[in-house]
Structure 1
Amino acid sequence: MDLRQMEYFVKVVSHGSFSKAAEALHISQPSLSKSIQNLEKELGAPLLERTTREFRLTDTGRLLCERSTAILQQVKMLKEEIKENINGDRAEIRIGMIESAHKWFTTLMAIHRESYPLNTFTVMDTLYNETVLEALLRYDVHAAVTNQELINDQVQAVPLYEERFVAVFPETHPLSLCEFIRLDDLCKYPLVLGMPSFRTRNQITAAFKKAGLTPDIQFQIERFEMAKKVVEQKMGIALLPENYLSGDLPKTLSFRPIEDEYLKRNVYFCFVKTRHFPASVTNFFDLVKEQFGESPQPAE
């Protein structure tokens, strides 16, 4: 049994079809079927219970699929580590991140490239909730800047800073007369929040619920930039992380802190502890951690 046979078998199982798996593998269906038959013969046990239209895994097949998937993933990660080790200072640094971290992160990218000009960056803003951990463990990203403290024995979560949520509204809005805004003040106006699946959205709605209040949520927006545009059109008040607004708020808009102990969040820098990183990548990691020191501080 070799890696190619494992890959073929896992593809058949994941696609639920020999024809679809053969197409994905760019081989003929007879060749794929023959490979699986040879594997069954070598192991001395059937892996699939076939009918005219479908198949089911046997107990042996289920065991082989689980173990093969894990082995193939380990091989993929090893290849990735070796490739990065060979490339050295020509690494592609892949980072998943929350939108509010853009400003300080781009500053650190510029600093890093002074020492490693051949490094490239791929920054992904679409890592939400459970996908953050999956992306790290699959080696899809080197690290993630996230408001989740990932609890996993393979992941190091370094606290960077704490940020508050603020209310954003047109500069002529009545709330501009307030120094601080309470949750009951916000219930008087239509609100612009993130999508229901977002962690920050759930945190905000939980704060209202804890206070016994029902917010008037009229807009659900995936991107902070879009939420800001909705506010500029005077259609509602957005609740956004303070660091996202730092230095980038249009003159037509104002913001105020929200007076609620639950409307703040910690931001973490997470990476897999056992993964081998080339020196150029660890250099960037050090820049991130040094930017905020050992204790969480507000981002500038």
Structure 2
Amino acid sequence: MIKIIQLEYFIAVVDNNSFTKAADFLHISQPSLTATIKKMEERLGYDLFYRTTKQIQITEKGIQFYHHAIKLVQNYKQTMEKMYDLNLSDTPKIKIALLESTSQWMSQVLARHHAEYEDQRYMISEVHDMNEVTDSLLNFNHHVAISNEEIKHEHITSIPLYKESYVLLTPKDEFPRKQSMSIENLPLIVPNKGSQVRKHLDDYCTRIGIHPNIIVESDRFETALNYVHRGMGYAVLPRVYYQSYNARDLDAFEIKPKMIRALYINYLKKRQHSDNVKSIIQYSKEYWDI
């Protein structure tokens, strides 16, 4: 059986391309390191390195083993960090998957939550792909996830929070004020393929029979707004995000015909959630007056 520390020794040799330098880095003797690698090779049944009097070279199998070793060590360290977190506190981190557009109101929810649960810590991630959101809940990677589509899965509870329209964000005073605008033929700045917002936009354009003139695709709304400021095009974003600091100096127009989405808060049914987690769900519902 090969141990994690042996994998770390092997990685150090590869990274330093030298047994001597690796031994210095690991603060062990070179003969001890050499013996460890030799034992690994005997157990594996193949050589990890070609050795000459002047240099070492990693073998093809050694390269493949190196990639696996990196992943194993990283997974081990991540697992130990999570175990350490459990020992630090009786209240482990609450892990929440958000959409970029929901971070503003969720920060208010968490501020209220933290005022009541002062020892609570949080880990916030942005997850925009619906499949990733679902998998993260099913694999216990997140306690709670926000999505802009209902998750229809027998093991997941998906609660609607609110509905909002999409808006077209333009530079200040570029267009005369009016109630709504069509996005047809306009140069657009939109999220990348795979995001929930992009899926909504593509479905919308297909439904009303237009071909969007996409100039820039971006992972983040904040980046999209930078291109709007530069005059490269107009961003299609959720209305709630327009209330954020980054968008307040732009104009927002309702899109004609309307483009609307619903936001959901999701959690795994079979997971035994603490009162701390349950209260975040409740506070989110209360924020939107549900």
- Verify same fold: TM over 0.5: yes
Deviation at 1:274, TM superposition (A): 1.1
> Retained in 1: the 8 A contact 2:170–2:235?
yes
Q: Deviations over 1:110-144 (max 9, x none)?
A: 11111111111111013422111111111111110
Alpha-carbon separation, structure 2, partners of 1:135 and 1:229: 31
Identity of aligned residues (%): 21
Equivalenced residue count is 237
Q: Which residue of 2 aligns with 1:150?
A: 151
Give the secondary-structure state (helix, strand or coil) at the position aligned to 2:227: helix
Q: Which residue of 2 aligns with 1:244?
A: 241
| Higher RCO, Cα 8 Å, sep 6+ | 1
Q: Where does 1:25-64 land on structure 2 (aligned, <5 Å)?
A: none
Q: Which residue of 2 aligns with 1:115?
A: 116
Which runs of no fewer than 5 residues in structure 1 stay unpaired?
A: 9-18, 36-52, 54-75, 295-300
Q: Deviations over 1:173-204 (max 9, x none)?
A: 12x4321112xxx2232100110222221221
Alpha-carbon separation, structure 1, partners of 2:234 and 2:131: 28
With over 3 angstroms needed to count, the CA separation of the structure-2 counterparts of 1:250 and 1:158, relative to structure 1, is closer
With over 3 angstroms needed to count, the CA separation of the structure-2 counterparts of 1:33 and 1:201, relative to structure 1, is farther
Q: Where does 1:1-300 land on structure 2 (aligned, <5 Å)?
A: 87-88=89-90, 90-174=91-175, 176-182=176-182, 186-248=183-245, 250=247, 252-261=249-258, 263-294=259-290
Residue 106 of structure 1 aligns with an amino acid whose one-letter code is S
> Retained in 1: the 8 A contact 2:156–2:269?
yes
Deviation at 1:292, TM superposition (A): 2.2
Alpha-carbon separation, structure 2, partners of 1:32 and 1:279: 51
Deviation at 1:212, TM superposition (A): 2.1
> Retained in 1: the 8 A contact 2:146–2:266?
yes
TM-score (norm 2): 0.69
TM-score (norm 1): 0.67
Q: Which residue of 2 aligns with 1:64?
A: none
> Retained in 1: the 8 A contact 2:130–2:147?
no
With over 3 angstroms needed to count, the CA separation of the structure-2 counterparts of 1:180 and 1:95, relative to structure 1, is same
Give the secondary-structure state (helix, strand or coil) at the position aligned to 2:180: coil
Which runs of no fewer than 5 residues in structure 2 stay unpaired?
A: 12-35, 45-60, 62-78
Residue 177 of structure 2 aligns with an amino acid whose one-letter code is L
> Retained in 2: the 8 A contact 1:160–1:267?
yes
With over 3 angstroms needed to count, the CA separation of the structure-2 counterparts of 1:218 and 1:285, relative to structure 1, is same
With over 3 angstroms needed to count, the CA separation of the structure-2 counterparts of 1:205 and 1:94, relative to structure 1, is same
